[in-house]
Amino acid sequence: MTLPLPYRIGYGEDAHRLAPQRPLVLGGVTVPSERGAVAHSDGDAVLHALADALLSGLALGDIGQYFPDTAAEWKDLDSRLILQKALELVQERGYAPLNAALVVTLDQPKLGPLRAEIARTVAQLLNLPASEVGVSFKTSEGLAPDHVQTRVTVLLGRTNG
C-alpha cells in the first residue's frame, strides 16, 4: 500500500464579469469600486479560487459540487462559508493548508493599498499567519477590462505527521 503524500499542491481559478451596482469583494475584503462581480453568490473570486484550490489538492472535485449555482438557497451566499466548507473537507482527510499564493488580475481599481488587508483576512480564514499568504496583482493590459480573474495555489500538509 502506498503511504499518503506528506504534502499536496492545490490550484484553483475563478473569473467574474464586472457590472455597476454590484459589490467587489476580494479575499473577504470589500474593495471601493464603481463596479463589482456579477455572481450568484457575493462573487468573491479570490475565495472561490481558494476553495477550489483546497479541494483540488486532495482531488475532491470543485465547489460547484457542494454549492450548485442554480440553488436558490445559495443566492448572495457569503463566500466565507464556501471556503469554510472546503477547509472542513480538507481537515476531515487529515490535511491543513500551510501556505497560499493568490493572483488577482483586474484593470481597475488598483489593489496595492489593500494587499496587507487581503493577506491578513485570507490568512485568518485559513488559520495561518499573514506571512504565509502571498498576494499579487496584475492588470490584464486592457485585454479583459470588464472582468476580474483570480488564480490560487495552496500547499497542503498532513496534520498527523
- Cα torsion 71, 72, 73, 76 to 10°: value is 110
**Number of residues assigned to the chain:** 161
Whichever of 72 and 143 has its CB closer to ligand C5P, that residue is 143
Whichever of 75 and 110 has its CB closer to ligand C5P, that residue is 110
Q: Is 62 annotated as a binding residue?
A: yes
Whichever of 18 and 77 has its CB closer to ligand C5P, that residue is 18
Q: Is 41 annotated as a binding residue?
A: yes
- Measured between its terminal Cα atoms, the distance across the chain in Å is 18
Q: What DSSP assignment string belongs to 97-153?
A: EEEEEEEEE-SSS--GGGHHHHHHHHHHHTT--GGGEEEEEE--TTSSTTEEEEEEE
Q: Which does 66 bind (CB under 5 to 8 A by kind): Mg ion, ligand C5P, none?
A: none
Position among 24, 47, 60, 106 found at the interface with ligand C5P (CB under 6 A): 106
Residues 27-86 that bind Mg ion (CB under 5 A): 48
Q: Is 78 annotated as a binding residue?
A: no
Residue 111 in the binding site for ligand C5P (CB under 6 A): yes
d(CA 110, CA 26): 13
Q: Is 147 annotated as a binding residue?
A: no
Q: Which residue ranges make up the site for ligand C5P (CB under 6 A)?
A: 106, 110-112, 137-139
Binding positions for a divalent metal cation are 14, 16, 48
